């Protein structure tokens, strides 16, 4: 199984990590952990707005991003994103474009989407979602 970690999961690891997140990470092989290049953009943007932006960005790079594979956003992901956007638009549902791009990356690479934003990502059909900020075995 492969897992795509959303920005909110990665940023939790930078703070005082949720013990549930630690438990989930211990159960997985490091080789199964990925994030999207779109999440990298979100972390970089958010980090750049902090007063300690240089220190924060260095910590994110060395302590978080260095531990996961980075999945690119390319043609396959763009095609999937277009399909997701079309489907949501037809259904009269909204999802931020960044989340659509991240979801398309997870689908394209057959990853479980790991996020604390379950409600948002559950709008994407066929996306398998887990929230690692919840206890192991909670079914979320």
Q: pLDDT tens digits for 99-134?
A: 999 999 999 999 999 999 999 999 999 999 999 999
- Give domain limits for the chain: 2-130
What is the Cα–Cα distance from 98 to 29, expressed in whole angstroms? Answer: 27
| Confidence at residue 63, expressed as pLDDT on a 0 to 100 scale | 79
Greater pLDDT, 42 or 54 = 42
Superfamily in which the 2-130 domain is placed by CATH: 5'-nuclease (3.40.50.1010)
Q: Reduce the DSSP state of residue 23 to 3 states and report it.
A: helix
| Confidence at residue 139, expressed as pLDDT on a 0 to 100 scale | 61
> In the chain, at which residue ranges do the beta strands (DSSP E only) sit?
2-5, 33-36, 69-71, 111-114, 129-130
């Amino acid at each position: 199984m492969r897992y795509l970690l959303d920005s909110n999961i990665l940023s939790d690891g930078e703070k005082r990590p949720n013990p549930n997140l630690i438990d989930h990470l211990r159960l997985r092989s490091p080789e199964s952990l990925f994030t999207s290049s779109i999440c990298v953009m979100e972390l970089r943007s958010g980090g750049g707005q902090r007063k300690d932006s240089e220190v924060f960005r260095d910590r994110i790079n060395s302590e978080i991003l260095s531990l996961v594979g980075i999945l690119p956003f390319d043609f396959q992901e763009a095609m999937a994103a277009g399909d997701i956007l079309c489907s949501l638009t037809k259904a009269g549902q909204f999802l931020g474009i960044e989340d659509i791009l991240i979801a398309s990356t997870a689908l394209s690479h057959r990853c479980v989407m790991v996020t604390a934003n379950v409600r948002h990502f559950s709008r994407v059909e066929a996306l398998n979602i887990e929230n690692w900020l919840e206890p192991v075995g909670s079914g979320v």
